[in-house]
Amino acid sequence: MAGNNKKPIIQMEDVVKAYTTGEGPFIALNEVSLAIEPGEFLGITGKSGAGKTTLLNMISGVSDLTSGQVLFHGANNGSSASAVLIHKLNEDQLAQWRGENVGIIYQSFELMPTLNLVENVMLPPDFLGSYRPIISKERALELLDLVDIVEHAYKIPAHISGGQKQRVAIARALVNDPDLIIADEPTGNLDSVTAETIFQIFEKLVDQGKTIIMVTHDESLAPRFSRRLHIVDGVVGSPPQNGSAQSVPLIETEQFERLRDDPGELLDSAVPCDEVVFEKVETDHDYPAVVLRDVDKVYVNAAGEFVALKSVNMQLDYGQFISIVGKSGSGKSTLLNMITGIDHPTAGEVIVGNQHIYEMDKSKRALWRGKNMGVVFQFFQLLPTLTLLENTILPMDYTKTYPFNERSDRGMELLKLVGLEEQAHKLPAAVSSGQQQSAAIARALATDPAIILADEPTGNLDSRSAENVLNIFERLASQGKTVLIVTHDPSITRRTDQTIILSDGEIIDQTVAIALPYLSHPDMLAATHQAKRQKFEPRKTILRQGEPVENFYMIVSGEVDIMADYDKTSEMRLACLGPGQFFGEVELTQGGQSIASVRAARRGAEVALLPKDVFIDLIAGSPSTRNAIQETAATRLAENIGSRKNNGK
């Protein structure tokens, strides 16, 4: 913190921001007075529409204020230094002032698509006239290394993930060594590992004397700020006193993204296989929603080839709510682009709604997409000169779906569905980022598409708005639509019917992911490569009691019976295991021969076999996996012994 002889780096005095709409003035900020000290890490929280982004716009001079004043003193100015009246600067002066003093990290990156990452980072010094080819390039590479993306330095933005783009934006914000850094939800669309990395970078910069103002909707981050303010309906105050959030890192282990709460609860001996019922949503389609066959996507640039997707095979059915997860750069957004027809695969087939979409020309594919797909982009893509209602109606106009005189009513219904009926006639700039995302979701539903794809749709929403969006998606899936959502939030994956995990452009075997959820994604991918599938006919013996166990067995489909053989004429069923469950772990972790026989149940079974040496190596490198497996093995061994005692054998 600054000493007593220092003035605040930013001082706001009675700031009001009002937008004029068809319904009259809308007060986004209401008489805000605020002093921000040099060296602060200030967090600003609040729900969507509260005024968080508007507050940042006032501080950075991006938007004009209605009344009041904003003063900048500079981190190193003494008490006698004259202040810069930000709101009095003209456009050119503002641009120069921002370039020299402020690093801004936008929600939507704002990278130049035709420049590589080094060139994007070098833009601010170029703009200020301080560009020096060698020194500026070295500085750019140094900052890209700081945010752990230097290996992609010569790629263009289209060839990296959304999370990686955000890291480039942070590097660019630091290039002129500004006193003040302003960040608008900088971790909202990042996976947990990358988000924690970014937050630690911010903490390090604060330790070096930088001032950081960060907007977030994540209340769990509150204790990590040096100070936090909460904004409600444009009024800034202290955070609500309804219990303190616990100070925890954004990620505690590499296994943060778990697919299920308790992998130890794998043995269900109470339910016979023949009684298991799998519910399926009835739909009007007798073909899958999405099929990908051997899809590759390779980008070529000055740095060489970059494989974004490799031999992807996938089938998605109608009536399913499906999540796609993976670390930044794993290929999530590229996969969505293949399915939507926005990008073109290097090889392979993409069949959507029984259509080979890349057999269409670009214009026909765009029209087909407008009628059959609802796409929710990471950053809204709303037209700034149209109201939210007009943006929602736009797809109906483009595809000529619904009679003209019904489109407005349908648009209002959809905006009401996402809680925006009161903002229907406002322009996007007059509402919050979270509300813009909700409007983008309403627009995606405009033509009643059978398939909805969403790229991190809840990343910038407060918890209540996010819950509303997820409820909408669940309801749409229950009505027979296919909803595909890219996310890094493990709480969302627990609500979806299927989870697709990507690692280095490849899809991790779902059976591996469910059976071994604590493995890191690279280890899951290694297990995917090593596991061999084998089908067993009904009643076929897979393992025989007393024989060596050479594999870890994971059930892909069907069921298996675990049988205790007492003699040549008698046996007892100990348990029935189904998809995602496993066996063989007792013998592999505790030694000895098979303690029971295993055979395919009445419907048969398909099993993935992971060789013993591969399994041992994987669990040796993952303490969480090893502990979960050993716990399950101990439970099963105790149950086996107990069953034998109870039967007098």
The domains of the chain are located at 10-237, 290-507, 521-646
Q: Which residues of 428-457 are buried (b: 16+ CB within 10 A; e: fewer)?
A: bebbbbbbbbbbbbbbbbbbebbbbbbbbb
Collect all residues with Cβ–Cβ distance below 8 Å to 130 and sequence separation of at least 6: 136, 176
d(CA 70, CA 84): 8
d(CA 155, CA 111): 12
Greatest mean pLDDT range, 121-125, 209-213, 266-270? 209-213
Q: Across residues 357-363, what is the average pLDDT?
A: 89
pLDDT greater at residue 539 or residue 266: 539
Average pLDDT score over the chain: 81
In the structure encoding, which two tokens stand for residue 396, read together? 């109906």
Check whether 423 has a pLDDT greater than 80.
yes
End-to-end CA distance of the chain: 74
Q: Across residues 277-285, what is the average pLDDT?
A: 52
Instruction: Please name the residue ranges forming H helices in 178-229.
Output: 192-207
Same fold, 10-237 and 290-507: yes
Collect all residues with Cβ–Cβ distance below 8 Å to 263 and sequence separation of at least 6: 515, 516, 517, 518, 628, 632
- pLDDT over 90 percentage in the chain: 28
* Ramachandran angles phi, psi of 605, nearest 5°: -155, 150
Show the CA angle centred on residue 372, arms to residues 366 and 374, nearest 5°.
85
d(CA 282, CA 277): 15
Crossing angle, helix 133-146 and helix 162-174, to 10 degrees?
130
At 313 the pLDDT is 94
Q: What Å distances lie between residue 288 and 318, 373, 557, CA to CA?
A: 6, 15, 18
Give the pLDDT band (50/70/90) at residue 75. low
Give the pLDDT band (50/70/90) at residue 280. very low
pLDDT greater at residue 70 or residue 278: 70
Q: In terms of Cα–Cα distance, which of 325, 378, 339 is closest to 517? A: 325
Distance of CA 419 to the CA centre of its chain: 23
Check whether 247 has a pLDDT greater than 70.
no
Check whether 18 has a pLDDT greater than 70.
yes
Q: Across residues 319-335, what is the average pLDDT?
A: 88
SS (H, E, C) 302-334: CCEEEEEEEEEEEEECCCCEEEEECCCCCCHHH
How long a stretch of residues is the chain? Answer: 649
Contact criterion met (CB below 8 Å) for 507 and 313:
yes
In the structure encoding, which two tokens stand for residue 156, read together? 């263009």
Q: What Å distances lie between residue 554 and 374, 516, 533, 588, CA to CA?
A: 36, 9, 9, 14
Check whether 276 has a pLDDT greater than 50.
no
Query: What's the CATH architecture for 521-646?
Result: Sandwich (2.60)
pTM > 0.75: no
Residue type at 219?
E
d(CA 308, CA 24): 49
pLDDT greater at residue 479 or residue 49: 479
Check whether 255 has a pLDDT greater than 50.
no
Contact criterion met (CB below 8 Å) for 402 and 396:
yes
Reported as a single tens digit per residue, the pLDDT across 584-618 is: 998 898 888 888 899 999 889 999 999 999 999 99
Q: In terms of Cα–Cα distance, which of 456, 475, 486, 498 is closest to 315? A: 498
The conformation of residue 630, written as its DSSP 8-state character, comes to: H
Q: In terms of Cα–Cα distance, which of 32, 20, 98, 95 is closest to 69? A: 32
Looking at 5-9, 190-194, 248-252, 494-498, which range is the least confident one? 248-252
> How many other C-beta atoms lie within 10 A of the C-beta of residue 97?
16
> How many other C-beta atoms lie within 10 A of the C-beta of residue 475?
13
Reported as a single tens digit per residue, the pLDDT across 164-188 is: 788 888 888 888 888 899 988 887 6
Check whether 258 has a pLDDT greater than 50.
no
Query: What's the CATH architecture for 10-237?
Result: 3-Layer(aba) Sandwich (3.40)
Q: Across residues 306-324, what is the average pLDDT?
A: 92
Give the pLDDT band (50/70/90) at residue 306. confident
Secondary structure (3-state) at 72: strand
In the structure encoding, which two tokens stand for residue 173, read together? 């914000």
At 295 the pLDDT is 95
Please name the helix (run of DSSP H) or strand (run of DSSP E) that holds residue 368, with its range, or none. Answer: helix 362-372
At 385 the pLDDT is 81
For the CA atoms of 172, 178, 184, 188, the dihedral, rounded to the nearest 10 degrees, stands at: 50
At 324 the pLDDT is 92
Check whether 348 has a pLDDT greater than 90.
yes
Check whether 557 has a pLDDT greater than 80.
yes
pLDDT greater at residue 607 or residue 247: 607
Check whether 235 has a pLDDT greater than 50.
yes
At 191 the pLDDT is 64
Give the pLDDT band (50/70/90) at residue 245. very low
Give CATH superfamily name and number for 290-507: P-loop containing nucleotide triphosphate hydrolases (3.40.50.300)
Give the pLDDT band (50/70/90) at residue 512. very high
In the structure encoding, which two tokens stand for residue 278, read together? 């799998």
Q: In terms of Cα–Cα distance, which of 592, 594, 551, 557 is closest to 577? A: 557
Show the CA angle centred on residue 70, arms to residues 67 and 74, nearest 5°.
175
pLDDT greater at residue 387 or residue 265: 387
Residues forming a β-bridge with 553: 583, 609
Q: Across residues 245-255, what is the average pLDDT?
A: 39
Q: Across residues 539-562, what is the average pLDDT?
A: 93
How would you classify the pairing of strands 10-21 and 67-72? Answer: antiparallel
At 283 the pLDDT is 59
At 108 the pLDDT is 67
Secondary structure (3-state) at 530: helix
Check whether 265 has a pLDDT greater than 60.
no
Contact criterion met (CB below 8 Å) for 474 and 495:
yes
Q: Across residues 331-341, what is the average pLDDT?
A: 88
d(CA 587, CA 594): 6
Give the pLDDT band (50/70/90) at residue 370. confident
Residues forming a β-bridge with 458: none
Crossing angle, helix 612-620 and helix 521-530, to 10 degrees?
180
Contact criterion met (CB below 8 Å) for 79 and 4:
no
How would you classify the pairing of strands 482-486 and 498-503? Answer: unpaired
d(CA 139, CA 287): 54
